Each structure stands twice: as structure tokens, then as C-alpha cells.
Structure 1
Amino acid sequence: MKHISSLLLACGLLFAHLGARAQGVMTFEKDSHDFGNVAEGTMATHEFRFKNTGNQPIVIANVQASCGCTTPDWTKTPVLPGKSGMVKAMYSSAGRPGVFNKTVTVTSNAATPSTVLSIKGTVLDKAQVKATLTPAQLAQSPRLTLDRTTHDFGKMEAGQQPSARFTVKNTGKQELVLSQLTSSCNCVGYKATPAPIKPGQSGTIELLYSQRQIGQMSDVVTISSNDLTGDAKLTLKATVVRDLNGTSMMKESGVAVPFK
């Protein structure tokens, strides 16, 4: 009887041990990437590939970047044993000249629940990049062309977010990647992240305007991209009032009068 109890105990320990080892194992090809020199305005992107070398499916719960300048993406479906998945890190270099060193932390149900991946490089401003390129190389750059460079919203209420659509054409030789929008008012943004535009093709961007100052507004917006010839600029205009309601009051020449 004592022998049988010992045998059952040994079997129980064996099954517990095997159960504990029944996990997915996330094995990355590499855990760091050096972009080297990156032209300012480029969305530096690297895809880290991994294989599930364990015996259970791996589900990535989250991927957290160390800063808002790095946008992660990853395989959203379970990665079965023997299959591969990816974690993508995208660094926005627009307005960020100099050395960068960023991380993304991958959280999953794998045997090692947290894995840190790193990216680094040096962002060169476009003047530096142009100085290192031959005319032939520069001719291969993507080229950003706008259908127009101004848009007037007319009268708008402070706090509203009207939008304006612009057509962007890539007249260059490589894929055009749009990145950061900058303006002195910090009141302009993309409604949705623009997709890359292939050579010879066009795309539509929609800009949101969130101007809260009252009066005649004219804001210059800079669109950064990987066009090495320079950034594109456009101007958004509006007459901003406190309230579009006809019974509201606004000051004209220092006198309160009904808004018309």
C-alpha cells in the first residue's frame, strides 16, 4: 500500500511538472535594431519577428512604447506552436533631430511574460541629408505635391473641430510617408493617420482645425514627410466667434453688438 501511494505521488509530481512546462516560448530573431542615420520626417519602421518554440499558443496582451514618438503594432491572433508572429516599432522622426534610443515592452502569456525590444538611430535634418546625397540620389526621393495650399473655413465657433480635405500626390520615385503636423497654434491634427502613397499615386488627408482664439485667424501648417526636398506648408483661415447663435453677442470695435 505504501508502495502504491509513493507511485501515485510520483506520477502526480510528474504531471504537475509537465503541466508547468506546457507554455508558449517567444523566441525573437533579435531584440534590438539600429536604424543608423534616418532622414528627418521619415517614419522609421522595423518589424521584430519571433517564433513560438513552446508547446502552447502565445497571445500578446499588450505592447507598450517608452514614449509617444514610438507607435507599436503586433500580431493580434494567437501564435500557435511552431508558428511565427511579429512586433512592429515605428519611430516618428519629424521634428526630432539627433540620437534616439527607445524601447517597446511586450506583455504576453509566454513562459517569459515580459520582453523588452529596443530601437536606436540618429535623425539627420533634411539639410544634412541633402548635403550627403548626389543629384541622382536626390532625384529618387518621394515628392509631396498638394492640390492647394490654403483653406478658408469661413465663420466657425470656438471649440468646434471643422475638417478640411486636401489631395496629396507623390510625384517622386519612392513611397511617400506623411508624418507629423506642426503649427504655431498647436491646433491642427490628422483625423486619421495617412497611409503611405506610392509613386505616381494620390491620397486624401483630412485635417482637423481646433482654433479657440476669437477673431480672424490664419495658421500656417507644416506637413513633415520623407520628401528630402523639404516639408510642405499650407494655411488654414477662419473667422472664429464665441457662439454662432444669432442672439449671442460679440465685441466689434469695443462695442457689444448682436452677431450677424
Structure 2
Amino acid sequence: MKHLLFLLLSFATLTAAHAQGVLTFQGEQHDFGSIPEGVMASHEFRFKNTGNQPIIIANVQASCGCTTPDWTKTPILPGKSGMVKAVYSSAGRPGVFNKTVTVVSNATTPSAVLTIKGNVLNKEQMRSKLTPAQLAQSPRLTLDRARHDFGKAEAGQTLTARFKVTNSGKQDLVLSAITSGCYCVGYKNVPSPIKPGETAVVELVYNQRRVGQQQEAVVITSNDLTGDAKLTLTADLVKDLNAGSMLKESGTSVPFK
């Protein structure tokens, strides 16, 4: 009887040890091939839980800041599927790349490494590889204006400029990185892809702490193979707007009326 009880306990322990989720990916590598500089190259790694317990992905860590991961946040039950997405920002990174994302979970293999690779070509290189017919299918980015003047504002204040962006091309227009010499210009919200023939409002935020007349050259990169969009932001930045609205009245400062 004691021998039978020992065998049953051993079997239960062995069964519990083998009761675990198994993360089975359809593929653990993806090659983007040649992509134009400026695009956000995205790939979803699909997987299935082929084990007998739920899987929870605790974290996904990219090997560099140029790669942004996303993943299924809810528990993946046995027999169900999920995804891990890797997005590579190619703006300002021409050349061959090979990056990894590490998936940490409670599966039988607690750490899995996925790889993305490709070759980022600048727009001149990309154009040389395309036929005129292929180039004609490229998105086309058109701004409603090339300058925006914020006027007088306080230094360090976050200012917003709205531009209308039209896609006059044949494919979805994807806006990617913004570059400026001051590193003080960015998107208020990440723009969605703009369909051919459509116009969208894109909001840029500007935060400059220097005082005085400012002029910033800004470049918006995208998947428009004909070139990047260039614009200029100007502002007259002062330390305190309220200080300029005070009048001297009998030797006493009073608010401007």
C-alpha cells in the first residue's frame, strides 16, 4: 500500500513538472530585404501555445533603442495563438542591420530570441533599383506650407503647429522620424498612414529653452522615395510674457489694460 502511494505521488509530481506552456513560433527570424531609409519596418512573429498550461509573456526586450517591441499581453491558453511584433526605425540608419528581441515568459523555454535583419538603402539607392513604373507607385508627401511662425512665446513652453499633409501618390504614406538641429521638435501624436489621395492634419510640438529669435530647420522623413519634406519653424522666445505686459503707472507696475 505504501509502495502504491509512493508511486502515485511520484506520478503526480512528474505530471505537475511537465504541466507547462510551450511557446512555438512559426519562425524566429525575418529578413526585410532592402527597404528605403525612413520607413518603420514592422513584422509580427506569430506563435502558438502547444503546451498544456497558459503562457504569460512577462517582457520583450529589444537589443537596441531603434527597435520597438509589442506583444500579446493577455494569457495565451493551450492551443491558442499570440504574437510578438518588432518595429525597426530605419530613419538615419542606412546600411545592413541585424537586431534581436528577447521574449521572457513562463513557458518551458523561459527565454526565446527572435531576429530581424535587412538592408536600409537611402532614397537615391532605392530609386536606382526601381523601374519608372515602380517609382510611379511611390507615395508622395505634400505639405500645405513650408514655414510656421509661433510669434512671441515663453522659452520652454511647448508650442504646437498644425500642418496639412496630402498623399498624392499611389501607396499609403507613412511618416517616420523628425530631425532638427535643436532636437526640440517632435510629433504630438504618432501619425497614422495616409491613404492615396487623402489629406491629414499632423501636429508638431516645439519646445526650445533658448531666448531670442529662433529658426529651426526640420526634416520629416517618410516612405516617399522622391525625397524628404523640409520645413522651417520660427519663434521670438522671451523669458516671461507677463513681464512685457506691465506698464509703469506712478512708479508702480500694473497689469496692462
TM-score w.r.t. the length of structure 1 is 0.91
**Deviation string, structure 1 residues 67-105 (Cα, Å, up to 9, x no partner):** 111111111222111111111111111111011111111
Secondary structure at the residue paired with 2:124? helix
- Where does residue 220 of structure 1 map in the other structure? 217
Q: What secondary structure is seen at the aligned counterpart in 1 of 2:126?
A: helix
Partners of 2:19 and 2:67 lie apart in 1 by 34
- Measured after TM superposition, the shift of residue 57 of structure 1 is 1.5
Structure 1 regions of 5+ residues with no counterpart? 250-259
> What's 1:97 paired with?
94
Q: Per-residue displacement from partner, 1:20-68 (whole Å, max 9, x unpaired)?
A: 1111110001111111111111111111110110111112121111111
Q: Aligned with 1:246: secondary structure?
A: helix
How far off its partner does 1:248 sit? 9.6
The answer as to 2:108 corresponding to 1:108 is: no
Counterparts of 1:247 and 1:144 in 2: how far apart (Å)?
Answer: 40
2:167 is equivalent to residue 163 of structure 1: no
CA distance in 2: counterparts of 1:19 and 1:53, whole angstroms? 16
2:131 is matched with which residue? Answer: 134
CA distance in 1, matches of 2:65, 2:189: 16
Quote the residue 1:46 is aligned against. Answer: 43
Output aligned runs, 1:145-160, within 5 Å: 145-160=142-157
Are residues 1:31 and 2:28 paired?
yes
User: CA shift at 1:114, angstroms?
Assistant: 1.2
Q: Does 1:21 align with 2:15?
A: no
State the AA in 1 paired with 2:225. Answer: L
Aligned residue runs from structure 1 range 180-195, under 5 A: 180-195=177-192
AA matched with 2:41: A
Determine the structure 1 residue equivalent to 2:235.
238
Between the aligned partners of 2:59 and 2:225, the Cα distance in structure 1 is: 35
Among 136, 140, 143, the residue aligned to 2:140: 143
- Distance in structure 2 (CA, Å) of the matches to 1:56 and 1:197: 42
CA–CA separation in structure 1 for the residues paired with 2:167 and 2:120: 23
Extract structure 1 runs of 4+ deviating beyond 6 A.
none
Q: Which amino acid aligns with 1:233?
A: K
**Distance (whole Å) between structure 2 residues aligned to residue 109 and residue 167 of structure 1:** 47
Displacement of 1:136: 0.9
Aligned with 1:196 (options 168, 193, 198): 193
The amino acid of 2:156's aligned partner reads: G
**Which consecutive unaligned segments of at least 5 residues does structure 2 have?**
247-255
TM-superposed CA distance for 1:245, in Å, is 2.5
Structure 2 distance, partners of 1:157, 1:20, is 64
CA separation of 1:62 and 1:248: change in aligned 2, threshold 3 A: farther
Give the whole-Å Cα distance in 1 for the aligned partners of 2:52 and 2:162. 50
Quote the residue 2:252 is aligned against. none
Quick one: which amino acid aligns to residue 221 of structure 1? V
Between the aligned partners of 1:105 and 1:36, the Cα distance in structure 2 is: 22
One-letter code of the match for 1:110?
Answer: A
What amino acid maps onto 1:211 in structure 2? Q
Question: How many residues align structurally?
Answer: 247
Match of 2:250 in 1: none
* Secondary structure, counterpart of 1:23 in structure 2: coil
Residue 208, structure 1, aligned to residue 208, structure 2:
no
